[in-house]
């Protein structure tokens, strides 16, 4: 494998070269050490990540850094090569949950392959987060290019952006219908959304806007576990997960020419995630912090144990799944510092992992 190092800035994704000298020298590079998430090569393996808190950069840099993501691989000899942009990128558009956190948009992930975007879930703000990623250089996430979405389950925090994904790209000249894959009930949800916006559709098509008559339509596929999608870029396989009392909930595996990516969706610990990953390049998995005031109540303890995955449980899953990179997303922090959740995961898992931020790229 090769080094992959990029910095997301207001001017786009900028390749960053490794400073000269030893890797210990690199880890002392002041613009990265204090706040980047770093994976350190170690004789053909990769040491676990370290999460650092933001620091104020020198005013002389005169730049606002939005996010830095470093995913490092090395050759078997331990020799590093120059930065390479992979054909497949994972962009976390939203890491949020039902809490109204202004820094965490609703859950949504984009797998971008050869300038084509495939979304997983569409929480609140999905199209605007995609537009932000476009401004940072990921042209596949332009609004009118958003054409395919895979829904993990129908909880509102994962689908409140669905009308946005249907209508906003259409208003911005998408002519192709949206194609949506997901559990039973997705077709009924889609039909109701179209009915709810019936007047809007009529005015836009028949009024002075003269909108096209196809871009707001949705081709819905209610799926079962197995391969649900395949094109020249990617094969997508759905697998069942256990999200409390939902009758259906899915995770997804994306296989491309250069990477394998598994997204858990919302789930309690299940063996299907381990089986789906099985040494995958990237595993995105939800996690909650079992600390916090509300977790002292028996009701909430039972709820989260039934619907979600704790750091200790995630550590067990990751140890057996062997992902090259574990990405924590859809983090439920329960008003605790993010570093507390990261430390709990670290105690249970010694492999490479990062705690995702909105617009993080992996």
Domains, the chain, ordered by start: 4-71 (no CATH), 88-361 (3.60.15.10)
pLDDT of residue 249: 98
Token pair in block for residue 105: 């948009």
Largest CA distance in the chain: 65
pLDDT of residue 84: 52
Q: CB-side exposure of 284: number of CA atoms within 13 Å? A: 32
> What does the radius of gyration of the chain's CA atoms come to, in whole angstroms?
21
pLDDT of residue 53: 33
pLDDT of residue 107: 97
pLDDT tens figures, 194-228:
999 999 999 999 999 999 999 999 999 999 999 99
pLDDT of residue 319: 98
Backbone angles phi, psi at 300, to 5 degrees: -75, -30
Which pLDDT tens digits describe the chain residue by residue (362 residues)? Answer: 333 434 344 444 444 333 333 333 333 333 333 333 333 222 222 333 333 333 333 333 333 333 334 333 322 333 444 555 558 999 999 999 999 999 999 999 999 999 999 999 999 999 999 999 999 999 999 999 999 999 999 999 999 999 999 999 999 999 999 999 999 999 999 999 999 999 999 999 999 999 999 999 999 999 999 999 999 999 999 999 999 999 999 999 999 999 999 999 999 999 999 999 999 999 999 999 999 778 788 888 888 888 899 999 999 999 999 999 999 999 998 888 999 999 999 999 999 999 999 999 99
Determine the Cα–Cα distance for residues 288 and 311; give it in Å rounded to an integer.
Answer: 7
- pTM of the shown model: 0.78
pLDDT of residue 103: 92
Determine the Cα–Cα distance for residues 262 and 111; give it in Å rounded to an integer.
Answer: 10
């Amino acid at each position: 494998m090769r080094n992959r190092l990029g910095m997301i800035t207001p001017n786009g994704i900028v390749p960053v070269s490794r400073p000269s000298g030893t890797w210990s020298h690199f880890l002392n590079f002041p613009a990265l050490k204090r706040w980047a998430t770093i994976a350190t090569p170690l004789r053909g393996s990769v040491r676990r990540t370290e999460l650092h808190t933001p620091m104020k950069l020198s005013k002389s840099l005169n730049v606002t850094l939005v996010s830095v993501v470093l995913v490092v691989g090395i050759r078997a000899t331990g020799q590093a090569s120059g930065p390479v942009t992979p054909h497949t990128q994972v962009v976390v558009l939203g890491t949020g949950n039902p809490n109204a956190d202004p820094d965490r948009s609703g859950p949504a992930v984009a797998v971008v392959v050869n300038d084509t975007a495939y979304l997983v879930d569409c929480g609140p703000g999905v199209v605007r987060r995609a537009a932000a990623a476009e401004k940072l250089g990921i042209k596949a996430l332009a609004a009118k290019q958003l054409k395919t979405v895979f829904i993990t389950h129908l909880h509102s925090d994962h689908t409140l952006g669905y009308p946005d994904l249907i209508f906003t790209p259409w208003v911005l000249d998408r002519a192709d219908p949206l194609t949506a894959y997901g559990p039973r009930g997705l077709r009924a949800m889609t039909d109701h959304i179209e009915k709810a916006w019936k007047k809007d559709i009529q005015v836009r098509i028949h009024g002075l806007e003269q909108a096209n008559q196809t871009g707001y339509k949705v081709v819905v596929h209610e799926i079962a576990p197995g391969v649900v999608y395949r094109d020249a870029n990617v094969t997508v396989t759905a697998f069942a997960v256990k999200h409390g009392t939902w009758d259906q909930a899915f995770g997804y595996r994306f296989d491309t020419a250069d990477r394998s990516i598994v997204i858990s969706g919302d789930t309690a610990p299940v063996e299907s995630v381990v089986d789906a990953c099985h040494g995958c390049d990237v595993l995105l998995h939800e996690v909650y912090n079992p600390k916090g005031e509300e977790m002292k109540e028996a009701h909430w303890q039972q709820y989260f144990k039934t619907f979600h995955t704790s750091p200790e449980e995630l550590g067990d899953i990751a140890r057996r799944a062997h992902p090259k990179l574990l990405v924590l997303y859809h983090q439920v922090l329960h008003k605790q510092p993010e570093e507390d959740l990261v430390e709990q995961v670290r105690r249970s898992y010694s492999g490479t992992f990062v705690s995702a931020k909105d617009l993080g790229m992996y």
